[in-house]
Amino acid sequence: MPDQPPASSVPPLAASLPAPAPELFTWEFATDPYPAYAWLREHAPVHRAKLPSGVEAWLVTRYADARQALADQRLSKNPAHHDEPAHAKGKTGIPGERKAELMTHLLNIDPPDHTRLRRLVSKAFTPRRVAEFAPRVQELTDRLIDGFAERGSADLIHEFAFPLPIYAICDLLGVPAEDQDDFRDWAGMMIRHGGGPRGGVARSVKKMRGYLAELIHRKREEPGDDLISGLIKASDHGEHLTENEAAAMAFILLFAGFETTVNLIGNGVYALLRNPEQRSRLQESIAAGERGLLETGVEELLRYDGPVELATWRFATQALTIGGQEIPAGDPVLVVLAAADRDPARFGEPDTLDLARRDNQHLGYGHGIHYCLGAPLARLEGQTALATLLTRLPDLRLGADPAELRWRGGLIMRGLRTLPVEFSASHK
């Protein structure tokens, strides 16, 4: 099980606490982190922990504190504000992005540069643009299901949840069809090594950087109706987008836009298979031609066991207080979305999956100026994937004991390594 996160010791809490803090980032924790997060919410809602990488960071676990931290301008996204010791060098971001000169993307910068770059790329994710992309997402979904429907079994991660967002984001970026399998290989390396050696990810990042530089040159000579051409056009019209910024933007849209959707689909299907009453309600609603339960259902799946466990890194630019805890300047802060979205102070029966949940202001897409730019596309892909799977494979069921399933290692994302399923073979 090489992809599982290594065990990590956690500094002891004050002696006044009723029990020692639960062990974090072990294999057992990765399988079901929610009891440990419940303990932290109650006893140490802003908790300094030693991460598997050796870096120490503050974990924010209550909903109100998390929402405040996500929008707090004193918490910078720029790693330059990290008062990092020597052993933490280069361990707080995506492996290899510094060497590959891919740091100037939306997850690493603050206003005014963040405002400028977000304005440029937001045009690709307008509701109109995403709606126009819906037939392509449906086509990709059906094509992938066609690939295994006649077999009666599949690994839904590798055969469906993984390739769907890769091909979709490649289409949006303007990666030619003949090159998309290379992107799939590089992205697969990122997923396989997410919790293990950083070298594998760094090599993939380097290859992707070289390809993007070449693609940007090609798009400058022969632009198309795609996102990379749009970024180049904007930079040629005085928006001051450097080639490094264009490459970094394309890189982070791919990086952030595929694994989140892989996990949304994988975690979502798994949750539905573990909650048959909710799954049956959703199937009946879809069969009746209704979309309401599908729309609220995807939001609930994001809240219940979402694809992003911890929000990406933030660094205190000055001393501040979160949830009564003083945070020194230069310290890293990690908002635990998985803990905040199960806070009983905000959500009724938070450990229960309720696809019809209405008051569901989950933090799965973040909050504030860094709210996920690709949320409309992720919703489209999630809704299309679930509706099509449940319609075409109505007796979908787990093909393995839940105890045998393993979750990928890694700090930020939460997703299954595999999801074996079985169903009646279909010849449609």
Q: Which helix (H) or strand (E) holds 4?
A: none
The confidence band for 124, taking pLDDT boundaries of 50, 70 and 90, is: low
Are the beta carbons of 109 and 78 closer than 8 angstroms?
Answer: yes
Of residues 296 and 408, the one with the higher pLDDT is 296
Q: What is the pTM of this model?
A: 0.87
pLDDT attached to residue 349:
97
Of residues 240 and 111, the one with the higher pLDDT is 111
pLDDT at 46 over 70: yes
- Condensed to tens digits (0 to 9), the pLDDT of residues 136-192 reads 999 999 999 999 999 999 999 999 999 999 999 889 889 999 988 888 888 777 666
Are the beta carbons of 390 and 269 closer than 8 angstroms?
Answer: no
Flag the least confident range among 46-50, 67-71, 134-138, 186-190: 186-190
pLDDT attached to residue 417:
93
* Segments in 275-317 forming alpha helices (H): 276-287, 292-305
- Condensed to tens digits (0 to 9), the pLDDT of residues 381-404 reads 999 999 999 999 999 999 999 999
Are the beta carbons of 232 and 193 closer than 8 angstroms?
Answer: no
The average pLDDT across 305-316 equals: 93
DSSP string, 179-246: GHHHHHHHHHHHHHTTTS-HHHHHHHHHHHHHHHHHHHHHHHHS--SSHHHHHHHHIIIII---HHHH
Q: Which residue has the tokens 């970024």?
A: 231
pLDDT at 89 over 80: no
The average pLDDT across 409-424 equals: 91
Are the beta carbons of 252 and 77 closer than 8 angstroms?
Answer: no
